[in-house]
Amino acid sequence: MTTASEIRLASRPEGWPTLANFSIVDTELPVPGEGELLVRNLVFSLDPYMRGRMNDAKSYVAPYEVGKVMDGGAMGEVVESNSDSFQPGDMVLHFKGWRSHGIVPAGQAARVDPEAAPLTTYLGVLGMPGLTAYAGLVRVAEFKEGDTVFVSGAAGAVGSVVGQLARLKGAKRVIGSAGSEAKVKHLIDDLGFDAAFNYKDGPVAAQLAEAAPDGIDVYFDNVGGEHLEAAIAAANLNGRIAICGMISQYNAAEPPPGPRNLIRMIQQRLTMRGFLVGDHNDLQPRFLAEVAPLVKEGKLRYEETIVDGLANAPQAFLDLLAGGNTGKMLVRL
């Protein structure tokens, strides 16, 4: 038997989560059964979508259960294997995050090459967030060379890749919003955005109009709310809006009002489409073939905010929801 530590959902939050909604528990893991692996986690991912899973609400993924361990993307080392497909020492990507060790069915683990890229990138720029950015920009928003692109939450794991990909693919202008002056500077100086603004400095619509005097063709939405209304106002004829997330609403106790200017959807012949990355897994080979070389050559930069220690994961998650990360938020064990 292996002793593991794990983070459990202690209670469902009302509005903003607090540390009281989490508990850390030591538990005994069974010996891996036929076709199973015992994996020691090295690093796991914290993602905004996890906030929705803390609610008892029907959605595209089952909610976390109160009193049960949470889960999410993780990278770990195989300690024991009851599968011919894996050997002890293999590095695997799997979904048993929020814990020190996990029993993982072999069919739910993917071996990765630690020599090809840093292990953390498989949870970030070369993993789910990177594919989200790629699919959302290329397929959902139907990006074309010469488009002006606006990205909200642009300093996050997804938004930062969206903006850089748009620039590398020949966007006329790339604009980002973020929540601090340091992040705005990062977007322009490090990631090559043409313009960026701090949404806390004033009305988003006014700041976007100044940054995009000729309007926008693509809006990649990670925030919702005021940002979405501003993007609709700035959208050019036949503009496209890809709805990836709406973090501004995740902790709302009551549903906020929707954009007040939806009539522009008609006037400007706009297209607005929500998407989930899981619907676009067929793009994975194309995404890796295109993006991995850009990362290796330093043409596409990525940032990581790494917090050490399983016990610090709940606070790191609260920080993520409050915008306390630049790039991918990870917990290292």
Q: In this structure, what CATH number is given to the domain that contains residue 84?
A: 3.90.180.10
Give the DSSP letter of residue 171: -
pLDDT, tens only, 95-146: 999 999 999 999 999 999 888 889 999 999 999 999 999 999 999 999 999 9
For residues 263 and 315, membership in a common domain is answered with no
For residues 112 and 205, membership in a common domain is answered with no
* Amino acid present at 237: L
For residues 143 and 208, membership in a common domain is answered with yes
CA distances from 185 to 178, 181, 194 (A): 10, 6, 11
**Helix ranges, the chain (H):** 50-53, 128-135, 159-168, 181-189, 204-211, 226-234, 263-267, 284-296, 313-321
Cβ atoms within 10 Å of 200's Cβ, excluding its own: 12
- Report yes or no on 12 lying in a domain: yes
Assess whether pLDDT exceeds 80 at residue 1.
no
- Report yes or no on 246 lying in a domain: yes
For residues 142 and 244, membership in a common domain is answered with yes
For residues 271 and 320, membership in a common domain is answered with no
Of residues 291, 276, 324, the one with CA closest to residue 164 = 291
Q: What is the pLDDT of residue 303?
A: 94
For residues 186 and 77, membership in a common domain is answered with no
> Model confidence at 153, in pLDDT bands (50, 70, 90)?
very high
- Report yes or no on 115 lying in a domain: yes
For residues 217 and 178, membership in a common domain is answered with yes
The C-alpha atoms of residue 228 and residue 246 are separated, in whole angstroms, by 9
Tally the domains of the chain: 2
The C-alpha atoms of residue 244 and residue 74 are separated, in whole angstroms, by 21
- Report yes or no on 28 lying in a domain: yes
For residues 269 and 135, membership in a common domain is answered with yes
Q: Which two tokens stand for residue 178?
A: 């973020």
Q: Which residue is listed with tokens 């109160």?
A: 66
- Report yes or no on 292 lying in a domain: no
For residues 56 and 182, membership in a common domain is answered with no
Global pTM value:
0.92
For residues 309 and 229, membership in a common domain is answered with no
For residues 30 and 112, membership in a common domain is answered with yes
Q: Which residue is listed with tokens 């009551």?
A: 254
For residues 151 and 215, membership in a common domain is answered with yes
Q: Which two tokens stand for residue 272?
A: 């607005």
Assess whether pLDDT exceeds 90 at residue 59.
no
CATH number at residue 251: 3.40.50.720
Length, in residues, of the chain? 333
Domain that holds residue 172: 128-278
pLDDT, tens only, 5-23: 999 999 999 999 999 999 9
- The span from the first CA to the last CA of the chain, in angstroms, equals 20
Q: Which two tokens stand for residue 251?
A: 């902790």
The overall average pLDDT reported for the chain is 95
Q: What is the pLDDT of residue 39?
A: 98
pLDDT, tens only, 223-281: 999 999 999 999 999 999 999 999 888 887 777 788 999 999 999 999 999 999 999 99
- List of E strands, the chain: 2-9, 22-29, 36-46, 74-81, 91-94, 101-105, 110-111, 148-151, 173-178, 195-198, 216-221, 235-243, 271-274, 304-308, 328-332
- How far from chain centre, in Å, is Cα 93? 16
In a 13 Å sphere around the CA of 243, the CA atoms on its Cβ side amount to: 13
- Report yes or no on 313 lying in a domain: yes
The C-alpha atoms of residue 217 and residue 237 are separated, in whole angstroms, by 8
Q: Is 234 left (phi over 0), alpha (psi -120 to 50) or beta?
A: alpha
- Report yes or no on 21 lying in a domain: yes
Q: Tell me if residue 178 falls in helix, strand or coil.
A: strand
Q: What are phi and psi of 240, to 5 degrees?
A: -125, 135
> Model confidence at 170, in pLDDT bands (50, 70, 90)?
very high
Q: What is the pLDDT of residue 253?
A: 73
> Model confidence at 156, in pLDDT bands (50, 70, 90)?
very high
Rg (the chain; Cα; Å): 20
- Report yes or no on 287 lying in a domain: no
303, 156 contact by CB (below 8 A): no
Q: What is the pLDDT of residue 115?
A: 87
